[in-house]
Amino acid sequence: MSETNYEAMFADLCRQVGFCLHPKGEARVIAALPKGLDAGVRAVLEAEGVDEPSASGDLKRAIRDCLKAHVGKG
């Protein structure tokens, strides 16, 4: 199993969801992913300055689907 292609994951997150994270934000997401996809979603929202409880379900789902498409591929 190969490592997750984080570059492709963050490129898709930028294109598909509109969240183009800075390197510190990317590092937070990478650090959160071992705790699960929901932790990764929270890290993305935090890096973008979005209050997680007020984020729409559709937005959270879009982020989660994007992360899920890349995490664990190998």
What's the CA gap between 11 and 15, in Å, rounded?
A: 6
pLDDT at position 26, please? 97
Domain residue limits, the chain: 6-70
Q: What's the rounded Cα separation, in Å, for the pair 13 and 26? A: 11
- The span from the CA of 40 to the CA of 4, in Å, is 14
Q: Which position has the token pair 């800075």?
A: 22
- Give the Cβ contact number of residue 42 at 10 Å: 20
Chain-centre distance for alpha carbon 47 = 10
| Whole-angstrom distance, CA of residue 47 vs CA of residue 49 | 5
pTM: 0.90
Residue segments in the chain with a per-residue pLDDT below the cut of 50: 1-2, 74
